[in-house]
Amino acid sequence: MRHVRIARVGALGVLLGVVIGFAVGIILSLSNGLTFSQDSTPTTPLPTLAPPPANALELFDAQENAVASIYEQAGPSVMHITSLSQVTDFFRGVVPQEGTGSGFVYDTQGHIVTNNHVIAGAQQISVVLADGTVLSAKVTGADEYYDLAVIQVDATKLNAAPLPLGDETSLRVGQYVLAIGNPFGLDRTLTTGIISALGRTVDSDSGSVIGNAIQTDAAINPGNSGGPLLNVRGQVIGVNAAIQSTSGGSVGIGFAVPISTVKRVVPDLIATGHFSHPSLGLQVAELGYEVNPPSSGPQHGLLIVQIDANGPADQAGLQAARTRHNFFQTVYSGGDIITAIDGQELNTRDDLSLYLEDHTTAGDTVTLTINRGGKRQDVKVTVGQS
């Protein structure tokens, strides 16, 4: 059992001292014929507080029972995942490094969903069950872009039921949510909160991009990664993945991969080990951030800097900029500037990739609005995959 040291404050002693001091003051005031009013006018009695509604306690009890019931049912299906990898230390050479995270049971075949960054680079992965049983696991599939991964354990030894998946169309800001995970290694910790925002785009330090992310104020800390975000019906609506914090701990801004992405990506990870992303076969640079906009022409958009040979962009006749190196600076000249896709304005690389991910699959045709030599034109491109 893990022991946690808690700083205790002598609240009882402080309260007792306040009460005694207050009583002594009243006695002294009465003995001197004084009142608490600043003049001789009798003080107005304080209004009596209205009693709580008759069913108030019943409502609180119902809420507590609902939360406790969800935890009791879902808690055993949340796994504590530990990973062991080898890293190079400047002084000690190659040394083992242990990581920790969370995951949840996805199906009856022993598949467990977690974050890619929880198991990335691991040579050994272990899963700790609610009863303390430790099972070895292997990676079934992983996707760095969405920061999702699936690992598998021996289903005959997994005494836990799959968690039901929620409906992405019913999510709304203000909705009550619960997070279960293993922050700082504290197994199956429950925190609660609400959905603070929807549709966030989150860029992680590992390079993953969470599109349409769920933002929540439910406390999420290191070790919660990969654990489920649940609605009040005990259904998974997201996979906790990241926080925004200057301290490294929870400040009430956490993010989860939405269930819509989980439903789209996880089945492919189980079936093939990877998820095929839609691609146009090109690389771009952002105007105004990575590349100076042209003196005459669009001030926003994406400059094409590289095109894959025989890829979708190449077959559509798009043109990449010419490059030359001036000391430590890369100078671009010419090249098509993409300003919109299917009429939707593009400003950043994420704008383009998220549109492709959310609205297209391989074989679809999209219309790119480009600027070539100061002239605007539309080009149709057949989406490929990567």
- CA-nearest of 282, 226, 220, 209 to 252 is 220
Question: Is the pLDDT assigned to residue 8 strictly greater than 70?
Answer: no
Tokens representing residue 250 in the block: 């929870």
125-134, 206-215, 258-267: which range is least confident on average? 206-215
| Numbered ranges of CATH 2.40.10.10 in the chain | 75-157, 168-272
Q: How far apart are the first and last CA of the chain?
A: 46
Cα dihedral sign, 111-117-121-126: negative
- Mean pLDDT, residues 103-128: 96
Residue 192: closest CA among 310, 74, 364:
74
Q: Which two tokens stand for residue 5?
A: 């040291």
Average pLDDT over residues 220-247: 90
The pTM of the full predicted model, rounded to 2 decimals, is: 0.77
Architecture of the domain made up of 278-385: Roll (2.30)
Distance set, CA 74 to CA 164, 180, 287, 295 (Å): 9, 8, 47, 59
Please determine, looking at this structure, whether the domain spanning 75-157 carries the CATH number 3.30.365.10.
Answer: no
Interatomic CA distance for residues 153 and 334, integer angstroms: 53
Q: The domain at 168-272 falls in which architecture?
A: Beta Barrel (2.40)
Ranges in the chain annotated CATH 2.30.42.10: 278-385
Both tokens of 199, joined, read: 């549709």
CA dihedral 152, 155, 157, 159 (to 10 degrees): 100
Residue 56 has pLDDT above 60, yes or no: yes
Q: Are 114 and 101 in contact (CB under 8 A)?
A: yes
- What is the average per-residue pLDDT within 275-304? 91
- Indicate the pLDDT class of residue 12, thresholds 50, 70 and 90: very low
Q: Residue 345 pLDDT more than 50?
A: yes
Catalytic residue positions?
A: 117, 147, 225
In this structure, the number of other CB atoms found within 10 A of the CB of residue 41 comes to 8
Give the pLDDT of residue 41: 57
CB 163 within 8 A of CB 176: no
Q: Rounded mean pLDDT of 43-54?
A: 72
β-strand partners of 191: 179
Q: How far is CA 67 from CA 76, 130, 192, 218, 233, in A?
A: 15, 18, 9, 14, 9
Q: How much of the chain exceeds pLDDT 90, in percent?
A: 62
Asked if the model's pLDDT at residue 27 lies above 50, the reply is no
Q: Using the predicted structure, report yes or no on whether residue 35 has a pLDDT greater than 60.
A: no
- Helix (H) or strand (E) holding 178, with range, is strand 176-181
- Placement of tokens 């920790």 in the chain: 100
DSSP 8-state code for residue 162: P
Q: What confidence score (pLDDT) does residue 43 get? A: 67
Per-residue confidence band for 91, with pLDDT thresholds at 50, 70 and 90:
low
Minimum mean pLDDT among 29-38, 318-327, 354-363: which range?
29-38
- Looking at residue 96, its pLDDT comes to 64
Q: For residue 336, give the nearest of 287, 382, 383 by alpha carbon.
A: 287
Task: Please check the confidence at residue 3 and state whether its pLDDT lies above 60.
Answer: no
- Rounded CA-CA distance 305/358 in Å is 24
- Per mean pLDDT, which range of 98-112, 205-219, 299-313, 357-371 is the poorest? 205-219
Average pLDDT across the chain, whole number = 85
